[in-house]
Structure 1
Amino acid sequence: MQVNETLNDGLKRGYTITVTAAELDAKVVEKLEEARPGVEMKGFRKGKVPMALLRKQFGPRLMGEAMQDSIDGALRDHLDSTGDRPAAQPEMKMSNADWKEGDDVVVEVSYEALPDVPDTDFSAIKLEKMVVKADDSAVEEALTNLAESPQAQTFEKKNGLSKDGYQVVIDFVGKIDGEAFDGGSAEDYPLVLGSNSFIPGFEEQLLKTKAGEEKAVTVNFPEDYQAEHLAGKEAVFDVTVKEVREPVTPEMNDELAKKFGAEDLEALKGQIRDRLEAEYQGASRAVAKRKLLDELDTAVDFELPPSLVDAEAGQIAHQLWHEENPDVQGHDHPEINPTEEHITLAKRRVKLGLLLADIGQKAEIKVTDQEMTQAIMNQARQYPGQERQFFEFVQQNAQFRQQLQAPLFEDKVVDHILEKADVTEKEVSKDDLQKAVEAMESED
């Protein structure tokens, strides 16, 4: 078997692999000998079938397997000896397409090799990490928001006209073409105006109404309404307003704190402070991670596989096009060609992806089974009532598991680098952190 280099240009590699007819024949005989003990054929004892008969019956099929095994083995040995890591599945094609048994097999192999990634001196990376403390004013602001939230808000009966945010207690009967329809009636229904919990246009027509008032409310059911027999139809609701109630913000005290699962007001404040600081830490880490990636992008340089850059640029262009054209769900659209901006972003992503993968491999960083299980559970919560089906989907879909694992691995590599980098902490205000987050997001 011979392997001859035909191309060595940057990361592009090309080789011809020649498997001689004698090598193929030996491989077929080897496979026949392996199979012979279990072969039964009329007129012969099990395992005693002559080689000539075995070759006649099984030879053509085993020849294909022998060719594939020989070529795969040659390529594997070649990659082991050179240390090359193909960026994608190598392209392979037979150069003698008119091959017949007794001929040598010549295969052309081409691929792009992954580059050698230079080591990085993490201690030379200098970063500033923003630290925000949850002060009393932030806690009080959060308490006020809780008190004004739907979970805490109460309503008191009021004489006068309803307004946006008020609650009206109503009886109503819905009719289409003068006939009441199922599910279109209720009594003593508390409706908060402006909550958008009813059909579009319904709540607006009850603004500036008062207790005792009767009103005909005309609306059109949306075309995509879940009840098909109502979708797109005009309905008239005969509404009686029985009460108008004004929203009242409750006093923040121990009793209200218990509604949010805390023992008392001080315990609730402690929970809020912890939650706020966890949010600040998450935002601060995101900003620090972006700065770290910017530093790595500038500090490290190596050749990138063009195929990976092209694929990433195409994916970026395609995704952005769909974001700008949300009405197009499928792929029936004009050809989308990446711009220079897309290519620049693709180069950054490919470079950082290869760099972080190399750092993680050298540091022997792994995503544990426990971490994967937790990530799967977090995803499953987005599908209430369908958790079992989701877990089954994950078990059967290796690509989706890889999508879950990739960000976990990246974050662990980033943490590894941050531990070794020169990171100083700087206490800043919540507004300063927010501005940094907004600046980061504007660059995406």
Structure 2
Amino acid sequence: MATVDTSNIEQTTSEIEPCRYAVKFDVPATEVNHALKVLINKYRSAKIPGFRPGKTPAKLVRRRFKKQIFEETRDSIIRETIQSMLQDDSLNAVTMPELTSDELSDIADDTEFSFSVQFDVRPEMEPPELHGIKVAAPKIEVSEVDVADYLDAMCQQQARLERVERPAEENDILKVSYTSQTSTDEEVPATAQNLVENSETWIRLTEPTDIPGLVSALTNKSGGDKTDVTVTFPDDFREEFLAAKTVLYSINVHEIHALLPPEINDELAQKMGLDDVDALKDAVRSQIESTQRQQRQREIVDQIGKYLIKASDFPLPPTVLREEINRVMYERLSQQQQDEPQSGEPIEKKLDAMGEQAEAEARERLALRYMLQTIAAKEEIEPDKERMKQHLQLMTMQAQQRQREINPYMAQEAAAANATSDAVFERLTEWAEVTEMDRDN
């Protein structure tokens, strides 16, 4: 049951900064009295010795539960008033209203009650010209060289390792053992032991190797060969014991193994469920074309996005902007920790270094987001339901990978927003003036 008639509450709205409003509510004494009466009647159902529930005198209930009644009356008035305000679609609030304590009065009988809230609102803007946006995109063209390179890479992934009786070549994998002599009598730490002496290990003749210089030293060596190699480790070598040291290695080559890719023929095609090698090449050509189309669309979307951002000359909601900056910084910091897990640099220094870049990126993200929302509303562009489902599945999978819970409502809202952005970009791509470019190979 409502405690107040919100239509009787006077509200005064003011803009305290771009995209942030303050609203002051003045609740008449009559509405305060009504709200108190509603709450007193509610508490009359409480169990009080000597009275049946609902029959306790109002004065006794008021005296016994005064603190709770007045607090709950205040909270109910505030909650119902804010809910009523948020039902006004023209308000365009993008953050939940925050109560400001400096203008919060006390609840009292026969007395007006006042309170204020602040919140961010969606920026107002006029989209730029949307028809004929000039973009450049690569042609969709697949050459025989493209098909051959794709098949070669595919076969390399399916290569089998076999022992060969020939001199070692680049990319071969050698079974070796080695001992070494250093110019120091220091005790070798456990972390460096396998780099100093190893009775059996495998070395691939591809740079970089754990021990510098072994690719050139072992190329053209055959099984059964022995060779001595002098290695000078760099000053910044990862194993501190060996850094800047010169070490003489005696290496025995035991076996040579090579990665042998399958031949590109009908047999390979049939193993992949295709009739013959021509069908395999056609399938590869289709796959490359699909990849090129996706790349082409990404480049078009990127250029349209930059065009819209450049035209986004409007203020951004301050609270939303701060949240977006924090989100960007968190993403960058997480990525940096993955790339450099043991950098040792203090986190405060990392945050300072990425602060300005994070703010610039956050501003661009928000500007583009609000611009796309405005275009969708103006052009009556609706999101595709299947695309929404795909976005939702992707977010759910990412949350599971990061072992995080996902808020179903927020995920649904985000999926709808992403699908709407996709639909807007598709429409703008249809309207764009696209210049075809030769593809860089």
TM-score in same-fold range (> 0.5)? yes
Which position in structure 2 is the counterpart of 1:138? 146
Q: Over residues 119-172 of structure 1, what are the superposed CA-to-partner deviations in whole Å (9 max), with x where a residue is unaligned?
A: 66533545455431212221122223333x142355462233x34311335689
Q: Which amino acid aligns with 2:301?
A: K
Q: Which amino acid aligns with 2:305?
A: L
Q: Which among 150, 165, 177 is matched to residue 171 of structure 2?
A: 165
C-alpha separation in 2, matches of 1:343 and 1:137? 44
Q: 1:286 offset after TM fit, Å?
A: 1.1
Change (3 A) 1:193 1:262: farther
C-alpha separation in 1, matches of 2:213 and 2:396? 35
Change (3 A) 1:203 1:10: closer
8 Å CA contact 2:321, 2:362 repeated in 1: yes
Alignment of 1:284 with 2:313, yes or no, is: no
Q: 1:274 offset after TM fit, Å?
A: 1.4
Q: Which among 375, 395, 398 is matched to residue 359 of structure 1?
A: 375
C-alpha separation in 1, matches of 2:419 and 2:129? 23
Q: Which among 245, 254, 264 is matched to residue 266 of structure 2?
A: 254
Name the SS of the counterpart of 1:144 in structure 2: helix
Alignment of 1:3 with 2:19, yes or no, is: no
Alignment of 1:44 with 2:51, yes or no, is: yes
C-alpha separation in 1, matches of 2:414 and 2:240? 40
Q: Over residues 77-112 of structure 1, what are the superposed CA-to-partner deviations in whole Å (9 max), with x where a residue is unaligned?
A: 445558222343334223356736445432233334
Q: Which among 91, 104, 115 is matched to residue 84 of structure 1?
A: 91
Show structure 1 runs of 5+ residues with no match.
219-224, 226-230, 435-444
Matches of residues 173-252 of structure 1 in structure 2 within 5 Å? 192-194=204-206, 200-201=210-211, 204=214, 207-208=218-219, 209-212=221-224, 241-248=253-260, 250-252=262-264
Q: Which among 262, 276, 279 is matched to residue 267 of structure 1?
A: 279
8 Å CA contact 2:43, 2:61 repeated in 1: no
Q: Which among 113, 117, 130 is matched to residue 105 of structure 1?
A: 113
C-alpha separation in 1, matches of 2:240 and 2:271? 41
Of the structure 1 ranges 61-70 and 334-343, higher mean CA displacement relative to structure 2 is found in 334-343
Q: 1:211 offset after TM fit, Å?
A: 1.8
8 Å CA contact 1:87, 1:113 repeated in 2: yes
Q: 1:22 offset after TM fit, Å?
A: 4.2
Q: Which among 25, 34, 57 is matched to residue 26 of structure 1?
A: 34
Q: Which amino acid aligns with 1:200?
A: D
Change (3 A) 1:164 1:262: same
Q: Over residues 24-71 of structure 1, what are the superposed CA-to-partner deviations in whole Å (9 max), with x where a residue is unaligned?
A: 33213213435645x333322233233233333444223223222322
TM-score by length of 1: 0.69
8 Å CA contact 2:381, 2:424 repeated in 1: no
Q: Which among 58, 61, 65 is matched to residue 68 of structure 2?
A: 61
Alignment of 1:410 with 2:418, yes or no, is: no
Q: Which amino acid aligns with 1:90?
A: P
Change (3 A) 1:211 1:176: farther
TM-score by length of 2: 0.69
Q: Which amino acid aligns with 2:296?
A: S
8 Å CA contact 2:389, 2:415 repeated in 1: no
Q: 1:355 offset after TM fit, Å?
A: 1.3
CA-atom RMSD, angstroms? 4.9
Which position in structure 2 is the counterpart of 1:437? none
Q: Which amino acid aligns with 1:167?
A: I
Q: Over residues 383-422 of structure 1, what are the superposed CA-to-partner deviations in whole Å (9 max), with x where a residue is unaligned?
A: xxxx9x5598454576667666654442232113334x14
8 Å CA contact 2:395, 2:411 repeated in 1: no
Q: What is the aligned-residue identity percentage?
A: 18
Change (3 A) 1:329 1:379: farther
Change (3 A) 1:365 1:232: farther
Show structure 2 runs of 5+ residues with no match.
1-8, 180-187, 232-237, 243-248
Q: Which amino acid aligns with 1:14?
A: A
C-alpha separation in 1, matches of 2:358 and 2:403? 36
C-alpha separation in 2, matches of 1:277 and 1:112? 45
Which position in structure 1 is the counterpart of 2:438? 429
